[in-house]
Homo-oligomer: A and B are copies of this chain.
Amino acid sequence: MKQETIDRIRKFTEDRDWDQFHSPENIAKSIVIEAAELLECFQWDGENFDKQHVQEELADVIVYIQNMLDKLGLDVDEIVNAKMTQNETKYPVEKAKGSAAKYDQL
């Protein structure tokens, strides 16, 4: 995400004085709530979905994720790279290729 998009999200929260509601716990609840609204786009039909609606719900999840990164002072590249290192170990290419099995089933 570009810095100006991140800044817009931050300003939105600041202008409304909403930081007081943004405890990590409340943001975690919000991420699940919005993720479930995203899933609702696929509730009865996984194939034919309203892409515009999907984009909006996906954006809602992304905004709360940015709120969480801000609240906890996290660097997105740092935490994602740390997790990718774990994932690469848990799912070695030679075992995981073409398989949807969970790492403890590989």
Cα A91 to Cα B69 with chains together (Å): 22
Enumerate chain A interface residues (CB-CB to B < 8 A).
Answer: 1-2, 5, 8-9, 12, 15-18, 20-21, 23-26, 28-33, 35-47, 49, 51, 54-56, 58-63, 65, 68-69, 72, 74, 76-77, 79-84, 86-88, 91, 93, 96-100
Copies of this chain held together in the complex: 4
Q: Are B5 and A80 in contact (CB under 8 A)?
A: yes
Cα A44 to Cα B88 with chains together (Å): 19
Given contacts A25-B46, A28-B42, contact A15 B97 (CB under 8 A): yes
Q: Are B61 and A31 in contact (CB under 8 A)?
A: yes
Cα A33 to Cα B33 with chains together (Å): 8
- Extra 15 A-B pairs, beta carbons < 8 Å, given A28-B39, A63-B87: A1-B80, A9-B84, A18-B98, A24-B49, A26-B44, A28-B54, A30-B43, A32-B32, A32-B39, A35-B36, A45-B100, A46-B46, A56-B79, A56-B83, A62-B79
